[in-house]
Amino acid sequence: MSIAKFFGFGKNEKSITPGEAIQKLRDTEEMLCKKQDFLEKKIDQEISLAKQHGSKNKRVALQALKRKKRYEKQLQQIDGTLSTIEMQREALESASTNTTVLQTMNEAAKALRAAHQDMDVDKVHDMMDDIAEQQEVAHEISEAISNPVAFGDGVDEDDLLAELEELEQEALDEKLLETTGVTDELPEVPSAIPETVPKKKAKEDYDDDLEELAAWAS
């Protein structure tokens, strides 16, 4: 019987998935780690036994040290085996990840192909040209609607210009009047009456003059 058949790796062996293989490797790592702990404890025990009988019974102490050496050798082998299993597990995990990624990309490519199956590139270009044309028409319609409509109002533009010139001339005249200070208002008539000599006082002065003349003549 071959070693492969002994360990169950014959030709008729059923293939397992990457996930199952990774799980088996992890189980093996866990078992070997437990074996490591056991061997380390045994080494500590043999060292204690050798110390205990070192001066009393050298034969027992030497046997303990020999066993310790065997345990250490087994521990070293387990360390190497764990390193190999760890590298194999990491490689398998990486391969499994790559396989999952590739499968996902393949499925996405198939879905994209199916989505484009009923699409024709020329038809798509024609559709985009039609959309652009309709957008241009809509833009022209919006421009036409937004422009104000000019209706004829029957007013002669020359008449409007003449009226505008008259208004400008009036404004100019008003500005000149304000500058020169000319005004259309008449001066106010003084309300106070000038004082006059009273008539009675004038008559009295005249009588006094007559009396003085008469006295001089006599």
- Domain extent listing, the chain: 14-115
pLDDT, tens digit (0-9, with 9 covering 90-100), for 104-160: 999 998 888 888 777 777 888 888 888 998 998 898 888 888 876 655 556 677 887
pLDDT, tens digit (0-9, with 9 covering 90-100), for 9-54: 555 567 888 888 999 999 999 999 999 999 999 999 999 999 888 8
Query: DSSP class of residue 192?
Result: S
C-alpha atoms less than 13 angstroms from C-alpha of 108 in its C-beta half-sphere: 6
Integer Cα distance of 53 and 63 in angstroms: 10
Find, among 2, 22, 27, the residue nearest to 13 by Cα. Answer: 2
Please tell me the predicted confidence (pLDDT) of residue 173: 86
Integer Cα distance of 172 and 179 in angstroms: 11
Out of 3.90.470.10, 3.30.70.260, 3.40.50.300, 1.10.287.1060, the CATH code matching 14-115 is 1.10.287.1060
Question: What is the reported pTM?
Answer: 0.44
Query: DSSP class of residue 184?
Result: S
Integer Cα distance of 60 and 52 in angstroms: 9
